[in-house]
């Protein structure tokens, strides 16, 4: 009964919107209509603002009553420029560094790395490396006395990608709707009042902005610092007002008087993405200024739903009776709010659409949302977990086309990566390390303790292969094979024989950002070493990529010689091994850990995202469990998200749900910010870092569906709390879309829809398997 009322309530809201934009019928209602985040006060901190995005533009309104602050973003707002930082001295020292590593003198090898194996020019903190930057701050002033306000509510409807602020003041009803159009690359703000009202609009930026106001327009422009004598990225933006009120301009402000409605259009562009930002911007504004608000809204909602509505996840009715920030607090204490996980999973898909749809660059550490001129870690595309995690929800979450920005980005790393491979390693192919910005930076960073991992290029190239595994899109494989091949050639050519173990190993390298004590003496004086050879993660990435290249080459019927050589190398790689304490070994040796609960769990790459540890390797599964028990359930936001994925792969739904609870822990505490989730459900590293959102979303979907082995496993890690529910539209490898319903923990029906004539093995939670014949694009439903 209660659910029906909620349905009707959200249906009424949606219907009003649907009618407003003249779309088809109420039959269009969906469980996704309940995916609403709402708050009963304006935002006080940025991590309470609501994110809107269309892949290129980002807008985050505060919902402030008298002054509504909108943080504006454009995905290609990057300072810095292309750098040539490859230090050709490095390769000369490589043989010596390797010799020392083989002799176990890692510390001496690390000293040489600090001297000779770093990029020139200062690395990530250099102005030339640059940073993703906020575009500007828009201020909408409304002539309302804030403390006369009643019935205040601001919300974000994920299914429409529309935010709204509503309140009453002195008997007047005020309403503001905001969206970043998915169909027309323009941000739209609609201000309405039940009586004529006055507004003022201005746009500011901490630095480097020129503002001009004329007629109904506010125009902004500026140039970002390149960090060199070269020209920096130039940006141009324009806000345009359509209203029934009177518009006047005063200095850098536009004033609107006696308006019952104002439609504000805003867009921006940069020279990073287009040749003539002003022409691009004026074209978009002039085209859309002539269209009705309802038309703009209707086209936007339709374009967004075309992606968003592919998936429904239903763990029971959404709790819409309390504001979302309070819902998070209650969940932290009770843990009893199953549908919050469905909201979080869908929020991850929402943020991915908002930051990758038709984007110039793949989602960075903050997606496209930033409120500062210099972002933490430059807001870049860190490649030793972060960028990869940003794409974990994409394929299973049925958003395959959003791989395009990443594909273009990785293809764009090849040229610089070949230069780095040559200058640092005298190696073939291309490589990349942890640092990755908008300018194709591929060199080791300024600090080998975290900057020397050279398998990052190989790891990110695996996402291109994964896309093929999910879609079976041969044309795509033909396109990306050379890029994947180049990454594998690099790894093949840097493998050396460890004369002690006889294995082929990468050298020099690290286990990302984690260190060890070489001996008790070092432990006593706290001397941590990082540089090593053949870290477990490296071995697993090399194995995964070589295996992918062999499969791809066989599908494309090419590279027989390379295939043979990679098969040989695979036989000589270090297997994933179990230490004397029953855990997976992180390094080639059983070194004493400097930080047993380190946030990176790199040596479980083979458990997730790879599938080298699974039901067919029970000992390794057990060792992985022990490893995670020691690593603990805390850590940075993304680390907690990764752990959800691990426990899902281990088939332990309740433990995965415990990690989800840890990830959703409120991040704002008296002492400041901690790992967890902010009131606007942004993930907290701290600070805000979006990879945890995507990783957490992928983890929840991994509890519902797995397809990494030969089987499609439904509900492989179902927690007790989600005992009844359903999902529609999740994707399995092999081009299959999966729907599933269950009651009291028992599967009641499964539907497979394959994009080819094919046979699949369906695995049920009790381990029983069924063979399912599929005809292309024809759903097959099994009832249980």
The binding track of 140-159 with respect to ligand FUC, each residue x by CB under 6 A or -, is --------------------
| CB closer to ligand FUC out of 243 and 445 | 445
The tokens describing 306, both together, are 């075309």
Rounded Cα–Cα distance for residues 11 and 34 (Å):
9
Secondary structure of residue 346 in the 3-state scheme: helix
Site residues (CB under 6 A) for ligand FUC, limited to 278-317: none
Compute the least distance from the CB of residue 738 to ligand FUC, in Å: 32
Is 435 exposed, middle or buried (CB count within 10 Å of its CB: 0-12, 13-18, 19+)? buried
| Tokens 């002003």 sit on residue | 278
Supply the minimum distance, in Å, between the C-beta of residue 709 and ligand FUC.
29
For residues 87 and 119, the answer to whether their CB atoms sit within 8 Å is yes
Residues 444, 452 contacting (CB under 8 angstroms) = yes
Query: What b/e string do you get for 118-146 counting C-beta neighbours within 10 Å, with b at 16 or more?
Result: bbbbbbbebbbbbbbbbbbbbbbbbebee
Q: Which is nearer to ligand FUC, 154 or 382 (CB)?
A: 382
377 scored as a contact of ligand FUC (CB under 6 A): yes
- Kind of pairing, strands 67-74 and 780-783? unpaired
- 126 vs 364, which CB is nearer to ligand FUC? 364
Sign of CA dihedral 388, 390, 392, 396: negative
Q: Which of 295, 268, 260 is nearest to 175 (CA)?
A: 260
Distance of CA 369 to the CA centre of its chain: 12
CB of 200 to ligand FUC, least distance (A): 38
Nearer to ligand FUC, 85 or 435 (CB): 435
Toward ligand FUC, which CB reaches closer, 377 or 490?
377
Sign of CA dihedral 282, 285, 288, 290: negative
Residue list 716-775, contact with ligand FUC (CB under 6 A): none
Q: Please, what is the minimum distance in Å from the beta carbon of residue 416 to ligand FUC?
A: 20
Report if residue 364 touches ligand FUC, rule: CB under 6 A.
no
Q: Dihedral of CA 288/291/295/297: which sign?
A: positive
Please identify, using beta-carbon distances, which residue of 235 and 450 lies nearer to ligand FUC.
Answer: 450
Question: What is the rounded CA–CA span in Å between residue 645 and residue 659?
Answer: 9
Q: Nearer Cβ to ligand FUC, position 483 or 662?
A: 662
Instruction: Return the residues of window 485-544 that contact ligand FUC according to CB under 6 A.
Output: 513
CA dihedral sign of residues 602, 468, 464, 270: negative
Closest distance between ligand FUC and the C-beta of residue 376, in Å? Answer: 7
Residue placing its CB nearer to ligand FUC in the complex, 129 or 377: 377
Nearer to ligand FUC, 640 or 685 (CB): 685
Nearer to ligand FUC, 405 or 637 (CB): 637
What string marks each residue from 688 to 727 as x (binds ligand FUC by CB under 6 A) or -?
Answer: -x--------------------------------------
The CB-of-131 to ligand FUC minimum distance in angstroms stands at 12
Distance CA 566, CA 545 (A): 10
Which residue minimizes CB distance to ligand FUC?
A: 377
Radius of gyration of the chain (CA): 27
Q: Tell me: does residue 382 bind ligand FUC (CB under 6 A).
A: yes
Q: Minimum CB separation from ligand FUC for residue 406, in Å?
A: 17
Mention every residue, 6+ apart, whose C-beta is less than 8 A from residue 712: 705, 706, 732, 734, 736, 738, 752, 760, 761, 762, 763
- Closest approach, Cβ 379 to ligand FUC, in A, equals 9
What's the min distance (Å) between Cβ of 435 and ligand FUC? 9
Q: Could you say whether residue 636 binds ligand FUC (CB under 6 A)? A: yes
From 218, 269, 365, 607, residue interacting with ligand FUC (rule: CB under 6 A): 365
CB of 690 to ligand FUC, least distance (A): 11
576: CB partners within 8 A, 6+ apart: 536, 539, 540, 584, 585, 603, 606, 612, 613, 620
Contact 457, 463 (CB under 8 A): no
Tell me how far, at minimum, the Cβ of 184 lies from ligand FUC, in Å: 33
Which CB, 377 or 647, lies closer to ligand FUC? Answer: 377
CB of 323 to ligand FUC, least distance (A): 29
Report in angstroms how near the CB of residue 512 gets to ligand FUC at its nearest: 7
> Interhelix angle for 293-308 vs 338-356, to 10°?
110
Of residues 174 and 441, the one with the C-beta less far from ligand FUC = 441
Burial 483-509 (b: 16+ CB within 10 A, else e): bbbbbbbbbbebbbebeeeebbbbbbb
Nearer to ligand FUC, 382 or 485 (CB): 382
Number of residues that bind ligand FUC (CB under 6 A): 11
- ∠156-160-163 over CA atoms, to 5°? 30
Decide: is 599 part of the binding site for ligand FUC (CB under 6 A).
yes
Query: How far, in Å, CA of 313 to CA of 31, rounded?
Result: 8
Residues that bind ligand FUC (CB under 6 A): 365, 377, 382, 386, 513, 599-600, 636, 638, 685, 689
């Amino acid at each position: 009964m209660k659910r029906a009322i909620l349905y009707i309530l959200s249906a009424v809201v949606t219907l009003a919107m649907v009618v407003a934009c003249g779309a088809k019928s109420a039959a269009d209602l969906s469980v996704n209509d309940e995916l609403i985040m709402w708050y009963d006060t304006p935002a006080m901190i940025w991590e309470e603002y609501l994110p809107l995005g269309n892949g290129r533009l980002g807008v985050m309104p505060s919902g402030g009553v008298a002054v509504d602050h909108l943080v504006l973003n454009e995905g290609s707002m990057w300072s810095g420029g292309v750098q040539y930082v490859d230090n050709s001295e490095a390769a000369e020292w490589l043989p010596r560094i390797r010799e020392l590593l083989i002799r176990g003198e890692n510390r001496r090898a690390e000293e040489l790395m600090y001297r000779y194996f770093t990029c020139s020019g200062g690395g990530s903190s250099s102005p030339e490396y640059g940073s993703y930057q906020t575009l500007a701050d828009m201020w909408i002033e409304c002539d309302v006395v804030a403390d006369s306000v009643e019935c205040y509510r601001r919300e974000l409807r994920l299914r429409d990608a529309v935010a709204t602020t509503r309140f009453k003041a002195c008997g007047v009803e005020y309403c503001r709707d905001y969206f970043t159009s998915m169909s027309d690359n323009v941000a739209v703000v609609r201000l309405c009042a039940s009586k004529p009202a006055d507004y003022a609009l201005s746009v500011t930026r901490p630095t480097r902005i020129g503002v001009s106001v004329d007629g109904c327009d506010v125009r902004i422009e500026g140039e970002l610092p390149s960090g060199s004598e070269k020209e920096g990225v130039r940006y141009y933006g324009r806000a345009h007002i359509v209203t029934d009120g009177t518009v006047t301009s005063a200095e850098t402000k536009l004033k609107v008087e006696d308006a019952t409605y104002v439609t504000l259009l805003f867009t921006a562009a940069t020279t990073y993405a287009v040749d003539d930002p002003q022409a691009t911007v004026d074209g978009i504004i002039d085209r859309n200024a002539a269209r009705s608000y309802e038309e703009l809204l209707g086209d936007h909602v339709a374009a967004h739903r075309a992606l968003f509505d592919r998936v429904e996840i239903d763990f029971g009715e959404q709790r819409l009776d309390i504001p979302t920030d309070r819902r998070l607090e209650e969940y932290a204490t009770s843990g009893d709010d199953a549908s919050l996980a469905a909201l979080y999973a869908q929020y991850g898909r929402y943020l991915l659409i908002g930051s990758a749809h038709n984007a110039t660059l793949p989602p960075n550490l903050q997606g496209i949302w930033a409120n500062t001129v210099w972002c933490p870690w430059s807001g870049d595309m860190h490649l030793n977990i972060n960028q990869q995690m940003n794409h974990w929800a994409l394929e299973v979450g049925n958003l395959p086309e959003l791989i395009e920005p990443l594909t273009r980005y990785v293809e764009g790393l090849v040229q610089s990566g070949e230069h780095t491979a040559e200058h640092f390693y005298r190696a073939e192919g291309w490589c990349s390390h942890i640092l990755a910005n908008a300018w194709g930076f591929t060199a080791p960073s300024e600090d080998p303790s975290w900057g020397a991992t050279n398998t990052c290029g190989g790891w990110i190239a695996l996402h291109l292969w994964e896309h093929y595994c999910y879609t079976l899109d041969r044309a795509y494989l033909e396109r990306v094979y050379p890029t994947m091949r180049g990454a594998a050639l690099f790894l093949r050519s840097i493998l050396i024989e460890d004369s002690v173990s006889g294995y082929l190993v990468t050298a020099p390298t690290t286990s990302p950002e984690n260190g060890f004590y070489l001996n008790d003496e070092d432990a006593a004086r706290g001397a941590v070493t990082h540089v090593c050879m053949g870290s477990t993660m490296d071995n697993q990435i090399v194995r995964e990529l070589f295996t992918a290249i062999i499969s791809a080459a066989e599908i494309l019927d090419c590279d027989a010689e390379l295939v043979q050589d990679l098969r040989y190398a695979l036989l000589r790689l270090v297997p994933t091994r179990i230490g004397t304490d029953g855990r997976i070994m992180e390094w080639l040796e059983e070194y004493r850990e400097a930080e047993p609960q380190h946030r990176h769990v790199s040596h479980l790459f083979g458990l997730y995202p790879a599938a080298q540890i699974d039901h067919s390797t029970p000992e390794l599964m057990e060792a992985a469990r022990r490893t995670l028990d020691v690593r603990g359930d805390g850590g940075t936001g993304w680390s907690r998200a990764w752990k959800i994925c691990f426990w899902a792969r281990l088939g332990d739904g309740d433990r995965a749900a415990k990690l989800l609870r840890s990830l959703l822990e409120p991040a704002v505490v008296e002492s400041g910010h901690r790992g967890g989730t902010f009131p606007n459900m942004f993930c907290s590293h701290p600070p805000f870092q979006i990879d945890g959102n995507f990783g957490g979303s992928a983890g929840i979907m991994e509890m519902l569906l797995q397809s990494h082995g030969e089987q499609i496993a439904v509900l492989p890690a179902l927690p007790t709390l989600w005992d009844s529910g359903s999902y529609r539209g999740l994707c399995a490898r092999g081009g299959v879309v999966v729907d599933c319903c269950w009651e009291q923990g028992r599967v009641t029906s499964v539907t497979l829809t394959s994009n080819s004539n094919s046979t699949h093995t369906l695995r049920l939670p009790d381990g029983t398997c069924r063979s399912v014949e599929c005809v292309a694009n024809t759903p097959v439903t099994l009832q249980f």
